[in-house]
Chains A and B, each alone.
Chain A
């Protein structure tokens, strides 16, 4: 699952959302925000390891490992992690993307100490049971079938990234190639655990109805004794400069064509992130956005159009996805997209449009602050991608400084054909009708 880039802005003073921090001796940093609105907690652990840290032959291992983290450790054996947590009123999940593996627990205050015990057990003493490794391999293969083989968006997106990156590890899918899912070994898993799961490679965020002091105390008791080791080796590969448009086609049974257009953009820490967020809002947010107006409403070429990028450590893709309407070809949609991208380069966006984009992002920020879960995810996401959670609460000021000229400049810098990769799904319909025979 790819972490969606949400766009934050804030006028609220940081003290409205005070965060207390503490770093354990083994290097794990802990961030806590007290919130007593409900008697519950959201606890996130962000590990700085994702599919970018993998190698050919074991693609998808980070995501598979995420699954294995639920399959038994020393104190809590196979199935116990979930059984014990749910029995105490908690629930959990996790997600993996190209950069991170993130674990999430949601539970009532009464289960707090138990959660620390469960998390410490699996970080310290994960068990690798060969039988479970095999059944979980089946689960992940099914996840891939669902998300890629039987989902044309997933299928085309996979081809897009594989085409856009020739050198960098962003080229393979987070879930991994099917043949790699079938072939990774117990040793691969153990090596992955050693590489990615040092406490010093993790950041914990807790938001909810308990004092920061109590969280720090439990962390010292349960997590501080876990020894640290080497973090994952740096990903040194850099994608060489792109020198021309790349195109890829997928032909298969499908009801309608599908179009994805990607342009390479810099990593999150780059100063252009904020102008790009505003550009994205101008183009894609709401029915008054430029792309919706042009493609869906006025020219009626597409069923929908969306665009954006995710936070990332390395240069990534800003992707535009559109589904042509019946009887409309993908090239017709593509042409209209380019005309809109050209328009924003030729003429600065109006002050009114920029203000609208800023207002949308400010409202987004407050919506994110509505839940303890949203806050925990946002604080952690900013901490790991920007190196400073306070960027979350300063985002409004940072966005406010962006001018229409900045937006025009980033549009010119990134949205040109040399920097572009296009993936098109072309339906093969006739074949479908031949195979289908009559109904009974």
Chain B
């Protein structure tokens, strides 16, 4: 494969909309297809968008609660709750649910994030009544059978052990834990070996009862259906769901970390060093979000980005280098990420830092800016091509309090960015001196090297529990 399968993190949620349109010039504006938004008397938000290209109906739902509300020492409760929804309801066993979902060829998944729990389901249109019945049962009447709770906890502990064999799979957890210190974002969404073992069934029940409520739920449906009929169906399935609105868990903003800090995670059998360099970035609604997307495309968001050009194309030090900004209600991380053979660790980290310095010193010129704008606009339509992408976009806009202008004005905002504004965005959002490093590799061989990047070095072994 020419590229790493995940050369850069897609900007989920930035995705915008268009469909069933005739060919237009890449520069002309796309617009979101018509949608209907309803609020049921119990507070549940419904959003409908008809798309008749294929006989498929896609659903996406968001519960406004995620892992930051997990009890301390029991990280993983939100995530476990999400995973257990389909493992039994008051009227169906786990096996019955699986058998029924599989029999209609349905897709169904739910997972927790830091601040929300997101799920998706997809059915052939002919099966939508049965599918919605299952979905409503799973969301409204899960029974969390004790044996299923224990099973999933044991599986997840094993899953963490398995993931620790691959540094790329756990890098984000180590980096967030180290970067965010005591801020709630530092806690691993899926928990760790110890916190999972501490979870009782009652914790799951409490989490569910407190957060899975209609007023806390957004459900978007996109695909091949008639809106009036769909609305009736949804009202029948969710109208009688009761429960008040829980208090919101407010999270403080974490300021940028000052100075330099480095975490070294020892993995003695590794022949490569994996590293992340970054700091606190921006929140999802930040006014600079479109400008930042353009600038990061140039820095580390595409194949010909500055990072990938030098670290991979020109020097062969890595198979892929990238950067991205995570988006949450409060500022998420900015990260540079790549990996290199153990013996070229210093060369690669030096180069990454040099590229960052160059970004600040040289900025971007008109030609580069035009290239990035074309790239973003040209690659945008496939990100909003399908009914599942649309349903997901709709719940995310609703969750973050954004509207269709995210789509309808996207191209014009991209086009409006000037070289001067780009320079300002670089100055403001890309850290230069204040940097947090996480390095995973053969510590005995690279500890001497990494000490030069930070006076403060913390060392862990990957076989220790936790992150």
Contact = CB atoms under 8 A, between A and B. Distances in A.
Contacts of B319: 139, 142-143, 146
Nearest to A79: B313
Residue from B25, B86, B105, B151 having most chain A Cβ neighbours under 10 A: B105
B79 to A, nearest CB: 16
B218 to A, nearest CB: 23
A406 to B, nearest CB: 20
Q: Which 4 A-B pairs have the closest CB atoms?
A: A89-B378, A138-B316, A363-B105, A286-B102
A84 B173 CA distance: 36
B374 A89 contact: yes
Given A38-B18, A86-B303, A145-B271, A362 B124 contact: yes
Contacts of A372: 382, 385
B5 interface: yes
Residue from A87, A134, A149, A373 having most chain B Cβ neighbours under 10 A: A87
Interface residues of B, number: 89
Nearest to A154: B166
Given A39-B21, A110-B26, A142-B317, A360 B460 contact: no
Interface stretch (B48-56, B276-284, B355-363, B392-400): B48-56
A124 B344 CA distance: 36
A39 B162 contact: no
B387 interface: yes
A71 B341 CA distance: 22
A248 interface: no
Interface stretch (B93-101, B174-182, B236-244): B93-101
B54 A142 contact: no
Given A90-B378, A360-B102, A150 B313 contact: no
A435 interface: yes
A332 interface: no
Residue from A38, A70, A88, A363 having most chain B Cβ neighbours under 10 A: A38
A357 to B, nearest CB: 9
Given A37-B19, A256-B162, A435 B381 contact: no
Interface string A52-85: 0000000000000011001000000001001100
A405 interface: no
A371 B382 contact: yes
Contacts of B444: 435
A146 B273 CA distance: 10
A96 interface: yes
Contacts of B384: 38
Interface stretch (A221-229, A289-297, A306-314): A289-297
A38 B21 contact: yes
Contacts of A142: 272, 316-319, 339-341
A39 B269 contact: no
A28 B378 CA distance: 28
Contacts of B168: 146
Contacts, number: 247
B192 interface: no
Contact of A363 (B5, B23, B124): B124
B165 interface: yes
B453 interface: no
Interface in B308-351: 309, 312-319, 339-341
Residue from B162, B339, B375 having most chain A Cβ neighbours under 10 A: B162
A1 B5 contact: yes
Contacts of B5: 1
Nearest to B316: A138
Contacts of B162: 255-256, 303, 323
B58 to A, nearest CB: 9
Interface of A: 1, 36-40, 66-67, 70, 79, 82-83, 86-96, 106-111, 134-139, 141-143, 145-146, 149-152, 209-210, 252-256, 285-289, 293, 296-297, 300, 303, 323, 325-326, 352, 355-356, 359-364, 366-367, 369-373, 432-433, 435-436, 439-440
Contacts of B3: 93
Given A108-B378, A136-B316, A436 B463 contact: yes
Contacts of B459: 439-440
B235 interface: no
A266 B464 CA distance: 46
A254 B158 contact: no
A430 B105 CA distance: 45
A217 to B, nearest CB: 16
Residue from B3, B23, B103, B388 having most chain A Cβ neighbours under 10 A: B23
Contacts of A370: 54, 56, 385-388
Given A288-B98, A439-B459, 15 more contacts: A83-B371, A86-B303, A91-B378, A91-B379, A110-B27, A150-B270, A152-B165, A210-B23, A288-B101, A296-B155, A325-B158, A356-B103, A363-B107, A366-B55, A435-B268
A150 B285 CA distance: 38
Contact of A326 (B2, B161, B269): B161
Contacts of B24: 39, 109
Contacts of A150: 166-167, 270-272
Nearest to B381: A38
A138 B18 CA distance: 41
A86 B302 contact: yes
Nearest to A427: B165
A76 to B, nearest CB: 13
B432 interface: no
B260 interface: no
A18 to B, nearest CB: 15
A40 B317 contact: no
Given A38-B18, A287-B98, A432-B268, A108 B377 contact: yes
B23 A39 contact: yes
Given A108-B26, A152-B165, A370-B54, A359 B104 contact: yes
B105 A91 contact: no
A94 B165 contact: no
A66 B271 contact: no
A135 B315 contact: yes
Contacts of B20: 36-37
Contacts of B23: 36, 39, 109, 209-210
B370 interface: yes
Contact of B101 (A93, A135, A286, A325): A286
A39 B461 contact: no
Residue from B1, B27, B94 having most chain A Cβ neighbours under 10 A: B1
A432 B19 contact: no
A127 to B, nearest CB: 15
Contact of B98 (A67, A138, A286): A286
B403 interface: no
Nearest to B297: A86
Nearest to B457: A440
Nearest to A357: B102
